[in-house]
Chains A and B, each alone.
Chain A
Amino acid sequence: MASALLGRKLGMTRYFTEEGVNIPVTVIQAGPCVVTQVKTEETDGYSAIQIGYEDINARRSTMPVIGHDHKAGASPKRFHRELRTEEVDVELGDTITVECFEDVPFVDICGRSKGKGFQGGMKRHNFAGLEASHGVKRRHRSVGSIGGHSANLGTGPKLKKGKRMPGHMGDENVTARSLEIIAIDTDRDLILVKGTVPGPNNASVFVRPSVRLNRVKTTAARKKK
């Protein structure tokens, strides 16, 4: 069964285990999601499924979306997302719920981080800034030297691309990797994961089983099974 869901981040709270360990958890309302499209090798050149989440008022939707979701026998959905699958084991119109995460120990959660606006080098890239005294004037939070304009590029009139400087921060796609699932609430379609998740409360997020685990978490995952 394909296990990936769209959902919304509800907020954070704490969770006590029976031993009394205090775990910070993020509550995510995930699914139920409808399979709105099935792509196969023959029709599209690759196999994937598309899932839709959260009903939207048809008047606020568009005709193409209404028609697209109607083919799956579903009401129009607000969010859609495609996920590549090796083999397609679901059919058009199937519903995926949080139950698909029951055997999954760790998940990745993709979201859009909070926008921070135009920020300086200290906040954006953790630069150290200049000194507080010793003759530094009005440059305490500045980036400092950005190197010669030919650095690493042979010669040229411009800086090397990707030079870290002040600029727009946040409001980008971020994946929080390998978050432990603490609890699953099938009645309310909730997933409780350990730790923080990108984005503000009520933001839409995408939950999938973790793609890559480090050594500690791999052993923990095996133990859980």
Chain B
Amino acid sequence: MNRQEILEAVTQDQLKPAGEFSNFSVGDTIDVHVQIIEGEKERIQVYQGVLIAEKGRGINRTITVRRIVANEGVERIFPLHSPRIVKIEVVRRGDARRAKLYFLRNRVGKARRLRDQRRGLKHVN
């Protein structure tokens, strides 16, 4: 085994099953269910936003999710294989023509919306 193969093998048993993250793509509005641990208590927090970028592979795979809170853009980067990421649900399918939607950062108001892939390319949030 060469160096890269060993590194991959080390993280192999930490990866989630292969098909786990195949249902969403860049441009979708998604719900990320994050486990929050506060001392003894555990709870699930849902973070909803537009998936604007996917990066990395293997255990380093991350997604960037952008949402607007109090008229201020907030982006969170989630490592997909973290045990804290419980579930990811697609809320709306967005029509994206590029892999990284960083241009959304410069958009204000209604221009922020992406076209809906499923419902005949109508605008959605």
Q: Is the CB of B84 within 8 A of A20?
A: yes
- CB contacts under 8 Å to B, within A1-25, are 10-11, 13-16, 18-20, 22
Contacts of B3 in A (CB 8 A): 10-11, 201-202
Query: Out of A14, A19, A192, which one reaches B59, CB within 8 Å?
Result: A14
For residue B43, give the distance in angstroms from its CB to the closest CB of chain A.
14
Asked if A193 lies at the interface with its beta carbon under 8 angstroms from chain B, I say no
Asked if B83 lies at the interface with its beta carbon under 8 angstroms from chain A, I say yes
Chain B residues within 8 Å of A, Cβ to Cβ = 1, 3-4, 6-7, 9-11, 14, 35, 37, 59-60, 79, 81-84
Q: Is the CB of B83 within 8 A of A20?
A: yes
Query: Out of B4, B9, B83, which one reaches A188, CB within 8 Å?
Result: B9
For residue B100, give the distance in angstroms from its CB to the closest CB of chain A.
22
B60 to chain A: closest residue by CB? A14
Q: Is the CB of B6 within 8 A of A19?
A: no
**Beyond A16-B14, A20-B35, is A11–B7 a contact (Cβ under 8 Å)?**
yes
Secondary structure type dominating chain B contacts: helix
Query: Number of contacts between A and B (CB, 8 Å)?
Result: 47
Contacts of B83 in A (CB 8 A): 16, 18-20
| 4 A-B pairs with least C-beta separation | A20-B84, A20-B83, A10-B3, A11-B7
* Count, chain A residues at interface, CB 8 A: 18
Contacts of A16 in B (CB 8 A): 14, 59, 79, 81-83
Q: Is the CB of A188 within 8 A of B6?
A: yes
For residue A195, give the distance in angstroms from its CB to the closest CB of chain B.
16
21 contacts between A and B (CB under 8 A): A10-B7, A11-B3, A11-B4, A13-B60, A14-B59, A14-B60, A14-B79, A15-B11, A15-B14, A16-B59, A18-B83, A19-B37, A20-B37, A20-B83, A20-B84, A27-B6, A27-B7, A185-B10, A188-B10, A192-B10, A202-B3
Contacts of B1 in A (CB 8 A): 188
In the bound complex, what is the Cα–Cα distance between A29 and B84 (angstroms)? Answer: 29
Asked if A33 lies at the interface with its beta carbon under 8 angstroms from chain B, I say no
Q: Is the CB of B11 within 8 A of A13?
A: yes
Q: Is the CB of A190 within 8 A of B82?
A: no
For residue B1, give the distance in angstroms from its CB to the closest CB of chain A.
8
Query: Out of B4, B6, B59, B82, which one reaches A29, CB within 8 Å?
Result: B6
In the bound complex, what is the Cα–Cα distance between A134 and B4 (angstroms)? Answer: 51
